[in-house]
């Protein structure tokens, strides 16, 4: 009898998908790790599980306690579901600019959602600072009552991706991997997978695929946190170096405009049937760039972070896309006009 005992056991062990168009375009084998198949619908289920297990081990999260986190959405969904399965309540603070689909998913998952204005990290009203302060207020009233996940600067995030995601990719490719690329929000996935792969083969190239409007690509390439432009992508990019991203071994970095990444999402859905979100488009664009940099015959892996249904009103809305200057494929235009 093959049985999964609980939600936590269903997190991870996602398949590698061969991306046909990207592979044909570059002459490489380009694969995407299907993280949208996690129970909460995103790679952040892994992050959430790693953070919770570490907090339980260290005695920071106690039976019946409250999980508090500041998130763009997906980590909150993972924490809410894993928390519910382990007897915890969740309170999630997130910017009010995030997609309605993610806000609704959080509420369906049982989290108490508190929306706050989208402001820079240096502003004390930033969702991370408000979440931390709220957790501290709960613990002031009743010590040990709450735990702040702190996904950006809690390096249990990076460590868990090193121990799980990176190991899975190595095993799934039989160690025949030449490059890994993905975007960074907390930086946990990129840094953790990079560590796992380079510890097994220092020659594996690790690359950052950064949306315009983020300062991380310029930081890797030039050593300065300078950002230009903007992006409709959610949950990736940063104006600061997090503890998870710090000291990550990154060989290459690119800034990816929406006009390059979003059409790749549309093509993937129309030609290969996979419906993924905006960060996955940035990741696929980075995988194509990395494959071209390495040359034909190499193997490149990236991450398909979550499902496109969480961003339907943006990514698959012709009117919104036109407003942002992003090409609208004929098939999508026809679907909305019929």
Domain annotation for the chain: domains and CATH numbers: 7-37+165-329 (3.40.50.1100), 43-148 (3.40.50.1100)
Cα–Cα dist 190/173, whole Å: 17
Q: pTM (2 decimals)? A: 0.95
222 burial (CB, 10 Å; 0-12 / 13-18 / 19+) is: exposed
Per-residue pLDDT, 62:
94
Collect the ranges in the chain with pLDDT lower than 50: none
44 carries an active-site annotation: yes
Q: Where are the beta strands (DSSP E) in the chain?
A: 16-18, 29-34, 66-70, 89-95, 112-116, 146-148, 179-182, 205-211, 252-256, 299-304
Per-residue pLDDT, 211:
98
Per-residue pLDDT, 102:
86
**Tokens found for residue 218:** 């310029």
Per-residue pLDDT, 158:
98
Cα–Cα dist 204/271, whole Å: 30
Per-residue pLDDT, 338:
60
Selecting among 44, 102, 205, 314, the annotated active-site residue is 44
Per-residue pLDDT, 28:
98
Per-residue pLDDT, 98:
86
Cα–Cα dist 321/60, whole Å: 44
Per-residue pLDDT, 48:
98
């Amino acid at each position: 009898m093959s049985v999964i005992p609980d939600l936590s056991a269903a997190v991870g062990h996602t398949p590698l998908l061969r991306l046909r168009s990207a592979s044909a375009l570059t002459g490489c084998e380009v694969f995407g790790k299907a993280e949208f198949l996690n129970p909460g619908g995103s790679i952040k289920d892994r992050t959430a599980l790693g953070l919770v297990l570490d907090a339980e081990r260290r005695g920071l999260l106690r039976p019946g306690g409250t999980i508090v986190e500041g998130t763009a959405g997906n980590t909150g969904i993972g924490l809410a579901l894993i928390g519910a399965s382990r007897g915890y309540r969740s309170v999630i603070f997130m910017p009010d600019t995030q997609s309605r689909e993610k806000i609704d998913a959080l509420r369906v998952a049982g989290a108490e959602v508190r929306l706050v204005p989208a402001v820079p990290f240096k502003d004390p009203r930033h969702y991370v600072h408000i979440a931390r302060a709220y957790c501290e207020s709960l613990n002031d009233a009743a010590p040990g009552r709450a735990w702040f996940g702190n996904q950006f600067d809690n390096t249990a995030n990076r460590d868990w991706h090193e121990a799980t995601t990176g190991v899975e990719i190595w095993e799934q490719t039989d160690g025949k991997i030449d490059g890994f690329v993905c975007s960074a929000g907390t930086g946990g996935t990129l840094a953790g997978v990079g560590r796992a792969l380079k510890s097994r083969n220092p020659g594996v190239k690790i690359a950052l695929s950064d949306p315009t409007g983020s300062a991380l690509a310029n930081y890797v390439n030039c050593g300065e946190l300078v950002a230009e432009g903007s992006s409709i992508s959610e949950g990736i990019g940063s104006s600061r170096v997090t503890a998870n991203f710090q000291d990550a071994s990154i060989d290459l970095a690119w800034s990816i405009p929406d006009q390059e990444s979003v059409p790749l999402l549309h093509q993937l859905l129309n030609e290969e049937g996979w419906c993924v979100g905006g960060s996955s488009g940035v990741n696929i664009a980075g995988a194509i760039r990395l494959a071209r940099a390495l040359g034909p015959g190499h193997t490149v892996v990236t991450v398909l972070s979550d499902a496109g249904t969480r961003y339907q009103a943006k990514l698959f809305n012709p009117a919104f896309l036109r407003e942002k200057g992003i090409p609208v494929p004929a098939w999508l235009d026809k679907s909305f006009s019929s």
